[in-house]
Structure 1
Amino acid sequence: MIKCHLSRIMGERKLKIVDVARETGVNRGTVTRLYHETASRIELDVIEALCLYFDCQVGDLFEYQSDSDTGSF
């Protein structure tokens, strides 16, 4: 599974979903789904906009975690 750290990053900077959406141009619904980790896919331009806005690398936003504990792929 892919873990999204957007909520942690936003919390550290005391940002709201609407602030990030407005400043990055990313759809508010997309930011909300990433924040709550319910997104099933994401466009590369969204990742790029978030990385530029937060001055971070893709690996700072997303992390791969093995599902080996559950036995699924």
Structure 2
Amino acid sequence: MHIRIELDVLMAQRQIRLKDLAAQIGITEANLSKLKTQKAKAIRFSTLEKICEVLECQPGDILKYEMNSKKK
């Protein structure tokens, strides 16, 4: 199982830069970059809420669940 963060896809669709989104949601570019590049271990609900507000999306548009292709 794996949770993917598709922030880069939404940002491209909305034509918003990392710098601009970071400023609008009030976090550092470095922390937003970690989310965008799948390197974050967690995300605060308050941050997720702000991202959804700015990008006009739902949390499910950002977070995707992938099942492993291997069966046990």
TM-score above 0.5, yes or no: yes
Q: CA RMSD in A?
A: 1.7
Structure scoring higher RCO (CA < 8 A, sep ≥ 6) equals 2
1:3 is matched with which residue? 4
- TM-score, length basis structure 2: 0.85
Q: How many residues align?
A: 71
List structure 1 segments (4+ residues) > 2 angstroms apart after TM superposition: 67-71
Deviation at 1:59, TM superposition (A): 0.2
Q: 1:70 to 1:46 in 2, by over 3 A?
A: farther
**2-structure distance, mates of 1:44, 1:60:** 14
TM-score between the two structures when normalised by the length of structure 1: 0.84
Unaligned runs of 5+ in 1: none
